[in-house]
Structure 1
Amino acid sequence: MASLYGFVQRLYLVFNPPAPKAPSESPLRFGILGAANIAPIALVLPVKSHPDAVVKAVAARDQKRADAFAKKHEIPKAYGGPGAYQKLLDDPEIDVVYNPLPNGLHYEWTMKALAAGKHVLVEKPSADTAEETRRMFAFAQEKRLTLMEAFHYRFHPATGRVKEIVDSGELGTPTKIEVTLGIPSGFIKDTDCRMEYGLGGGAMMDLGCYAVSMSRYLAGADPTKVISAKADIHPKYPQVDIATTATLAFSGSRGSTGPAEGLTATLNAHFRLPARWGFLPQLPKMFVRVSGTRGTVELYNFPGPWIYHYISVESSEQEGGPLRKRTEKRYGNLGWTTYRYQLEAFIDKLRGRNPEHWYDGQDSIANMQWIDAIYTETGLGPRPASMAEVPQPTAT
C-alpha cells in the first residue's frame, strides 16, 4: 500500500509541480522550437518548480498549433508560420533554446540558435552524424555558449547508484554489459518522423543512442570496435532500422582487479516488439544489466526511473562464492523526474555553478561516432548529413 501511495504521489507532483518558494527576479528565459509531444514533460513541467527558469515562447510551423500549445501551457509568446523558428531565435527576450525537433533538424537549428547567441539544450541524439555534432560543440565553444545533449537519464539518482555499484568493485571485474530498449508494435506508426531516413530515422538513432550512451557510461571508457551489428528493416523504408542489435568491445575500462580487457556490451534497440502468440502485446523492455566476475546489477526502466524502477544486485565476496541478493530504489527528490534533475544541472552550468553531474561535448561526439560505426557495420550506413546552410565555427 505504501509503494502504491508513493507512486501516486510521485506522479501527482510531476504533473502538478509546486511553485518555487523564492523565484528569481531575472530567471533564464527559455524558448521551445516546435510544439513537440516531448516538450511538456521534458521542459515545461520541470521549469514550473525551478526558481530560476521560465518558458517565454514557443515556435511552430503552424500558427494555430503554436497558439494552442502556448495557451495550454501558459506560455506568453507563440510564433507560427513561415520563419517562426528564426523569429524565436531573434527574440531578445530568449536566453536559452530547447530543440526537440526531429533528428534531422537538430544540427541546422542548433547552429542557428548558437549564431543568435542562445544557449541550447538539444534533444538526443545530438545530430545525424558525428561530424555535425563536432561542429555544433566547436561553434558553441567559439561563441562561449553552453550546449548540452539531453541524455536526461544520466542525472537521476538511480543511474548514479548503478554507476557507484559498478565502480565500487562489488561485482568484481565487469565482463558484460547488456542494454535493451524496446517498445511494442503499434506505437511507432509508418508516418512517424522516426521512420524517415532523411530526418535521421531509425531505432538505433532514437532508442539505441541511449544504449550506446549507457554502455559507455558504465564501462567508464569508449569502445574499441564494433564486433557485430545487425539491423531489421521496414519493407517500405529499406534504409530505416526497425530494430538493431550490436555488440561492442571495450578495453581498459575500470574494474576492481584492473582493466576489463574482455568487457563487451550488447545493445538492443527495437521499435516494434512483436506480439506474443501473434496477438498479445509485449510490455516495453527497458533495462541495463552489468555482469562481473563476482556478481550482477540490473536497473529496470533506466529511461524513466521516476515513474518506477528497481535496482537488483547479486554479488559474492569472492569469485564462485554464494550470492547475496538485494533490491534497491533511488527516487531522490519527491516529484523530480529525470528531466527535472537534468534542468537543475543545466541551469547550474549556465549560472557558473558546478552541477552534481555533467558531461561535455566530447562525450556527445563520441556517442555519435559509435552510432555511426554501428550503422556502418549493419550496411545501412550513417544517417544523411544536413544540407542546410548554417553558420560554421572558424576552426573547422
Structure 2
Amino acid sequence: MASVYGIIKRTYLGMRPPIVSPLPDSKPLKFGILGAAAIAPNALLTPAKSHPEAVVVAVAARSKAKGDEYARKHGIAKVYGGPAGYQEMLDDPEIDVIYNPLPNGLHFEWTMKALAAGKHVLLEKPAANTAEEIRQMFELAERKNLVLLEAFHYRFHPAVQRVKAIIDSGELGPLKSMQTSLAFHLGYFKPGDIRFDYSLGGGSLMDMGCYNISAMRFFAGGDPTSVLSATHELDSPQVDRQTSATLVFPGGVTGTTFCDFGMPPYLKLIPRLPRLGAVIECEGGRIAMMNYVMPTMYHSITVTPQKGKRRVEKVYTFPTLGEPWWSTYRYQLEAFVNKVKGRTPQAWIAKEDSIANLAAIESIYAKTGLGSRPKSGFIPTL
C-alpha cells in the first residue's frame, strides 16, 4: 500500500510541482523551445516551474496558429511562427537557452544556428544523425564558450547513479556482462510517427536504442571495442522497428541491447508489457534495475550476491539534492542550470560521451547493413 501511495504522490507532484519564485540574487535563465513539441511539457515546461532559475518565455513553430495554441495551453509569453519563426526566436536577445526537441535529422542544423546566435542549447537525444555532426556542434559550443548538453535525462537520477556506484564499489566483483532493454507493445507508436521517417533519422536504435547504448557505456565506464552481432526487423526500408545487438567492451565484457517500437502481441492477441530494464552480471553477483529510464514513477534495484543476502533498493534523492517527486528531467534541469551558472553540476554528459554514443550506434547500423542515418544537408558558414 505504501508503494502505491508513493507512486501516486510522486506522479501527482511531478505533474503539478510547487511553483517557486525567482531567486532575488540570481537572474533566471530564459528558455525558448524550438517547435511545439509533445515532449517539452515533461522535459522542460513542468520541471521549470519548480526551478527558481529557469523560465520558459518563448516557443517557435512552423505554424503560427499551432504556436499560439501551444503557448496558450502552457502559459508561454512569446510565439514565433511561420517559415522564419525558428530563426526569429534564435535572434531574440532576451533568450538565453534554446531547447531543441526537433526530429533527429534537424538537430544539427538548428543547434548549429542556435550556437551561432550565442545561445546555450539543451538538445534532445540522439544529438544528431552522425558522430561527426555531434563533434562539430560541440566544437562550435566550445569556441563560443556556450553550454551544450545532450538530454540523456535518466543519467541524472540518483537511482541510476546508485547502480553505477554499486558496480564501481567492487562489492560484486568485476563486471562480466550487461543487458539493456527498451521496448513497447505494437501500436504504442502510431503510423506516420516521425520515428519511422528515415530522412529524419528514424529507427528504433536511434530512438530507444540510444538510451540502451548510453546506459551500457555508463555502467561499463568505457566504450565498446567491437560489435559481436546485430540483427533487425524493418518497419520500412532502412528503418528498423526492432534491433538487437551484442557489443564487446574492454576486458571482454559483453553488452546486449534490445529495442523495439512495437512488440507483437502474444498469441496475436495479448499485448506485451513494456521492457524497461537493465541487468548487470558481475563475477560475484547480479544487479537488476527495473525502469532505468523513468525511475521517478517507480523502480527497483535488486542486488543478488552469490554469497550473501539478496536486497532491493529504491533511491529517489541524493543526500543533499532533490525531492522524491523530482523527475529525471528535473534533475537534468538542475544540472544544466548549474553548468550555465558556472557551478559544478552533480552529473554531466560530456562531449566525448555524446560522440562515443552515436559512434556506437553507427557501428551497429553498419553491422546490420542499414548504414548510418542521413547526414544533414546544412552547411555551417562559421
TM-score, with structure 2 as normaliser? 0.97
Residue number among 328, 332, 343 corresponding to 2:313 in the alignment: 328
Partner of 1:374: 364
C-alpha distance in structure 2 between counterparts of 1:262 and 1:103, whole Å: 32
Quote the offset at 1:350 in angstroms.
0.3
Answering whether residue 239 of structure 2 is matched by residue 249 of structure 1, we say no
Residue number among 344, 360, 376 corresponding to 1:386 in the alignment: 376
Confirm or deny: 8 A CA contact 2:296 2:324 kept in the other structure. Answer: no
Confirm or deny: 8 A CA contact 1:11 1:307 kept in the other structure. Answer: yes
Distance 1:90 1:21, change over 3 A: closer
Partner of 1:6: 6
C-alpha distance in structure 1 between counterparts of 2:190 and 2:73, whole Å: 26
Quote the offset at 1:145 in angstroms.
0.5
C-alpha distance in structure 2 between counterparts of 1:17 and 1:373, whole Å: 41
1:183-332 aligned within 5 A: 183-234=184-235, 237-251=236-250, 261-316=251-306, 322-332=307-317
Quote the offset at 1:15 in angstroms.
1.2
C-alpha distance in structure 1 between counterparts of 2:22 and 2:33, whole Å: 24
TM-score, with structure 1 as normaliser? 0.93
Quote the offset at 1:262 in angstroms.
2.3
Confirm or deny: 8 A CA contact 1:184 1:273 kept in the other structure. Answer: yes
Letter in 2 for 1:115: A
Q: Secondary structure of the equivalent of 1:6?
A: helix
1:52-71 aligned within 5 A: 52-71=53-72
1:344-380 CA distance string (max 9 Å, x none):
0000000000001112111100111111111000000
Q: Secondary structure of the equivalent of 1:145?
A: coil
1:5-37 CA distance string (max 9 Å, x none):
211111111111112255356210000001111
| Unaligned 5+ runs, structure 2 | 318-322
Q: How many residues align?
A: 376
Q: Secondary structure of the equivalent of 1:29?
A: strand
Letter in 2 for 1:225: S
1:109-148 aligned within 5 A: 109-148=110-149
Letter in 1 for 2:12: Y
Answering whether residue 162 of structure 2 is matched by residue 170 of structure 1, we say no
C-alpha distance in structure 2 between counterparts of 1:281 and 1:86, whole Å: 43
Output the aligned Cα RMSD. Answer: 1.1
Letter in 2 for 1:71: R
Q: Secondary structure of the equivalent of 2:238?
A: strand
Deviates more, 1:18-27 or 1:92-101: 18-27
- Seq. identity, %: 53
C-alpha distance in structure 1 between counterparts of 2:28 and 2:60, whole Å: 20
Confirm or deny: 8 A CA contact 1:295 1:323 kept in the other structure. Answer: no
C-alpha distance in structure 2 between counterparts of 1:8 and 1:375, whole Å: 40
1:289-324 CA distance string (max 9 Å, x none):
1001110001111111011111111013xxxxx452
C-alpha distance in structure 1 between counterparts of 2:119 and 2:50, whole Å: 22
Letter in 2 for 1:14: G
Partner of 2:20: 20
C-alpha distance in structure 1 between counterparts of 2:205 and 2:31, whole Å: 29
C-alpha distance in structure 2 between counterparts of 1:169 and 1:35, whole Å: 46
Letter in 1 for 2:241: I
Letter in 1 for 2:19: A
Confirm or deny: 8 A CA contact 1:111 1:391 kept in the other structure. Answer: no
Quote the offset at 1:190 in angstroms.
2.5
Q: Secondary structure of the equivalent of 1:324?
A: coil
Deviates more, 1:15-24 or 1:198-207: 15-24
C-alpha distance in structure 1 between counterparts of 2:127 and 2:186, whole Å: 26
Letter in 2 for 1:391: T
1:22-101 aligned within 5 A: 23-24=23-24, 26-101=27-102
Deviates more, 1:19-28 or 1:357-366: 19-28
Confirm or deny: 8 A CA contact 2:22 2:28 kept in the other structure. Answer: no
C-alpha distance in structure 2 between counterparts of 1:346 and 1:360, whole Å: 12
1:349-360 aligned within 5 A: 349-360=339-350
| Unaligned 5+ runs, structure 1 | 252-260, 317-321
